[in-house]
Structure 1
């Protein structure tokens, strides 16, 4: 909804609730609104501007909630609001309010939520905190990102409400120590004090905050050691202490914090080894201990961190071999051991780390060869083993074709392909007899070892055969590890198999709950032997359950059989019943993360059955009633009565169809063909059923309509049509995060349930995808207000729109595939970005771009209509913009360039600035684009600018101000602090904007224009012209004299101001908008040009240049410059980009605090 709020709205005398939030409403807030009986005013996330009435709080006797966050309101913060005595929730965050925070906020005795973040507010000595001690019900106190706030946190913070759950004073100029009295706030869940000037030690009293889940203290000047009292925080999930001056040993007791997800202790002065107790942190996702003085061996059991996705141990003094258990970290994407003293060889098992994207083992003492198994790591984008003692031939396959000599230098005995300039040939002979001797030993020892191992294997096998024979004679039950249970005991434990104990009925039997005399509960499955197939079902289930063990499979305790009369299996008792009960009972409900966890559990069980045994097991009857939940809501797959065991030589078998209608794969239902891909199909249906809460046998799925086809067709119009209404109604402010998670699960479900078995995922791929969704969701569910507004399109729809991707409709070529023009059935003209199935970028940036832009609506952002993920197709469907990219308009071939007059150029600059201001300061999700360049600015038919390509973007939560990350962007546009140190803030976008602004005024490309050999960039030339007082020499000659010299000087000075080497001296984008509009003056500092070896920008360029040499692909037909190696704008790519080497987490992207 757009437009203004009519003044007449104040005439609605009986209006109680006004909700106009999350729209495109402009103009001022009518004063009449503040003279009413309203109890709730919700105007957040619009484009409202102007001042609020100074007496706004005097005439609102019933007001309980006032939401004004995410607008463009300015002026002083009215003290009269403190007269609205019934106020419970007050949110004025992310506006331009200035002046002092009222000292009488304590008059609002009922206040629970106070959010003042992201303004320009002040408070002498933080005096406003004193009055807030009167608000005894205060739960949220958020005043971070007010950079003018200064002073010390007073001890009276300990007198704030005992109900306080979240305290945010981050990114202010707060100094002094953290008061020990903060330990009085016993219900605190989150403390955000990062990016300030705090000194002193971490108070031990924080250890008394038993409910604390998040402690963010990074980027301060804290000293001393980590208090052992922190080890009492059993619920702590996020501990971030990066970039302080902390020292001493790392407490071993942190290993007791089993809830830890993110542990960041990097850039301090810690000394000790990694405590062995830490291997008990089973839910750890990210570990960063880099840049300390840690030593000793790496934990031999670090393979127990099963869900770890990122581990940075670089720049320490670790000395040991790399533990082979690292290969168990199947979700690991980022692993750095750079600059340590690691010895031994690179484990061959590293080839099993299929999710790995970043591996840095440089500057150690590694020896041996680079394992050829690393060729399997198809997602590995960054690989560095330089400066070790490696030898032999560098692998050629997989990702190794993309690496330069920089990845391998400093290893004299390595050789490789011709492009690496270290060829393997006869010209590299053994240098002396010592080398020959070593070679003989290296050959002889393995042969001798192999003979010895073979002899041991023969001995062991003979002994095992004897043991097996004796075991078979002694115990014929499926499991001999537990005592036998007689029929009498079972009868007594189940009250004679009474109906009161009945848990459920299956195809071949009934399940009862039983309790033994010692109090142990169990479930017993009693087979109905009168049914045909019951005997076989008992035998199959015994065989399967006897030979498999997995945490997500039901465990068999014992069995009871007296040949022909009675057969039963004694199983674990699952206290929470079946998934079917939780989905369809009125008194049970599951939130989105519970559903996702259950899906991961079932997928893990299936992965084990299909790939974890010499004999693959096909379950054949996957459905909600066969998924059981224990007391911790961990899912266990049950009922193997019709399971099939595939021999090693058979990938499928043909049999009689016995599974459940609605869940059966087509090839099983029609032809009786059983394979693991049949289970994958059933699991896809199960995923869709779990999210939609619609049985595949529902009456609505008759004829040609199935659950799958309904989901696929409905997603293209509205996600809400298919997602379970219980999810939609129960998530409140977290609705959009749930939508993103639900959409991701449904898309995986669609990939699993395609008709052709060969096109389905396997369960390993499925588990990986679901776990990545979970990693994203751990953070995404903490975001508020992201509403996924894209639709899902089928491949059939897109083929029809583009005439089957006809070359006549091709309008551009990007680094990862072509872009086509298409027409949807409703007449909308669209641009379809088609990612190549061979793209190393993969789904990560694809999902990032969907997650980022789908929740954003702004006139200067490109509109994303939807996406398509089907088979190996990854498609993004955008609005079609007739005038292509700004890069082509400025730098394209003669027939492509546009005649852009001065007013048009100014309009384009203003449009880009407004789009970035919205991303940084106005949207609820604060987003850093990371790749602003002329290629990524598109022009519509009226030459309005729209920012595109969010594949590299990063989310900036309210409690985060920066991320230290691997660089991802375009050479020539990246800010120096980002290019050199990976230090990312929104000021990096400001720098890139300054470069683009210079290009627009000059009509020249920053990276291609070199008036003299000594100048690397156009920006360097601009500095020279500024020093000489000749800035107007930069103006595009095509403009002739038809431009305003005053405006041109303002634009050029603004470009230099935005590209200041110091990020703190660059303006906010909202200020840039005012400067372009002439509402604020521009005073560009005189920046003295330095020699290339001193200038930060040139250091950054030097660091990146070798990477870019191998990343450049062929030339685009639309451009004279190399194509980008990251996802380009929907039309063409014309500049060289460096891909991100970290994982995404989005929204599908990652939060800024999760990837130092």
Structure 2
């Protein structure tokens, strides 16, 4: 990232110069006063604190603008305006362009939105323009004429299109346009127009194409940042002629090729970051020419070969990362000459040999990662001198002598995190001789096949937050003293040979009972931790201890006894896994007290009884299993239980779902006793039962024959008769009450609903779904409503009904459909919604062929904005948060004013603010399903964002996501649009009904937003709140132009 210290010093000196040069004659020029008045009128509050005449509460009543805060004058003319971080909201008025002597304008760190008036880019005297950290949007003129410009900073906004080019700004020193939405290529001609540039930043945009040549013309360039874009190809030769360059950041692009010795020409570099690219070949041995380097990262590339020995000549190096490459050979560096080294990361390579003893001479070393290599031997005794060492990972190597390792490391008094996983194979866990580790917070020594027992010396590590001893051969019991560790929130003892009861003290872990603010210590350290959930899975990576979900995992041991009801006290726990043990007794209903629980696995035990219905109140529960126990009775149907698959309950012959015709008795099986004498008595009973079964078989078969014949006869009746029978069934229950959410509404019965739909007459059908039809209804009080009728005894149908009721009863927003009430009658489920007079967006875009009015662009944009607000409410404002999981145009309904309302929550899932995903089957609708859903079993907020991006494309193009009637090359809407964008043919994307020059910029902007939503990488997609902000800014821009 760009180091802006030089820039801020420069800007600060320039600001001071303006203030010192103020003239004795400070009376404000009337034209300038009028210009400032126009600027204030464009703000939402219409005032600025400290500016007289605009704010009655202002401490200044002066009408002389030269006396106002942030205003600098010379001879009565405004030359400087510094309003940074003043909480300003609104738009930037064109009136500022009337300040014809203005040299300094700083509006940074406010909440300004809309477009920047183009006349502002024609101020002949303007030297410093800082609009950074606002919500300004739209594009720029093809060229900008600012002949006096020295600092141009528009970073951290929502600008789009091509980045601006300042022609004629020969004095330009800093050009900073990072953290925007600029696309297209980088225009290096800025170095022709402004050869004196010293700071250039394009960071965090969507710039693509090759890395351009031309920066060699900026002979004074000191900082060049193009990180986090989509640049490709190889680095141009003239880049390596910039001998004054101190900071070069190219990370997170698609740059390829080799470096070669030319990198050594950049002899002034202090920071070099080429991480997250596709560089290959060997790393050139030229660092003897670059001895000023303090930060060097080649992480996550394809470099191979040995470490260049000249790295030892970097006497000032502070941070060195070569992680995640294919480097090999010995770690053959002279660390004695690298005394300032604080962070060394050589993990995920193919290094061999021993740990160099010389590392211990780096006494300031705080972070050391040598994990995932082929190193062997013992940890050097000299490591005891690393008194600053805080984070150490040596996992996935072949180190030996765990007793010596712990004896050495305990002397590193500041050590907080130790990761030794997959080493010391088959050794014995030392039980004594370890008394240090007073500051230890994370201790991970998993998958080492260690024997012995859980070491008692861990009880002295009072600051422990995370303990992972999983995948070993540890025996004995789970120590009760774990419950005394006040900061412990993650305990993984899974896949060992532990026995005995679960210590009740685990239900008293303070960090899992109440929130512990001490665990929120912020850290920007990127230090990888891995946990292994099962033999076939890859390790899950967390980059900070605080990223781990609060968990207790005792799975796959030999633990017996009961599940303590007191586990319900752990209100902050996210994962509780007790599977694969010998637990007995019942599942306590008190577990419903674990209000943050997302993952509960009690499978493969010997539990009896029923599943407590109280567990349906666990709103965040996304993964649940009680498979292979001895449970019986009905499976609860409320809450998140509506979406759990049968695999969560298999292996329990006594369990059944509601409405199942084969549901056995809810009484406990008679053979559940463990008493020996009782089992002998049961043998006699079994014999009697067997005789009874044999004698009754003929009778049962006879009844079955008659039953089948009757079913066969019924199948001969036509469909209309079946529908009539269904209606009669409803009529029989016509007196049943309808539950209404609005207390002021008049009571309704099912008989009222029958009358309002003409007994669910086909003429009133206005929609259909997977499990039923939607009917238009006129209620007794004259209100119109839509009634969804779900019919049948399918478990999924009932789950959809429950999901709709639960979701819409908790989510109330103007852009969601309003659920007015519901009723259950036999196998029918009725849902009563507010009537949407204009049907669905799908109808207006794809099915309306009867002529008449169509959706113009303003209406489509309005629909997109409303739908985005509804989705943002579900994701971020509603408590608990909700994943919709089926965003599509047919689930966006339109009222009489074409206001958008999200509908159909049959697949929705509640989710906690702590997590970002839920486990799921592949759900959604073809054409809208994110690509990652086909690769994993989790649904995320960013999955909904992807689906919303498809809807935006439908609004722009008027086409369906998948259209088999189109030619093969354009059946897939997304691929077709991306192909045209790549060929610079965006104008061909848009629906001819809405495309015109008046809306060209708005259409292009929404297209860009859509493509952001459709990014293949979920982490790159915007949040729904960002989408709302971007879409709303379009309307604000339009209003500001009128």
Compute the TM-score of the two structures, normalised by the length of structure 1: 0.41
From the CA coordinates, give the structure whose radius of gyration is larger.
Answer: 2
TM-score, normalisation: structure 2: 0.45
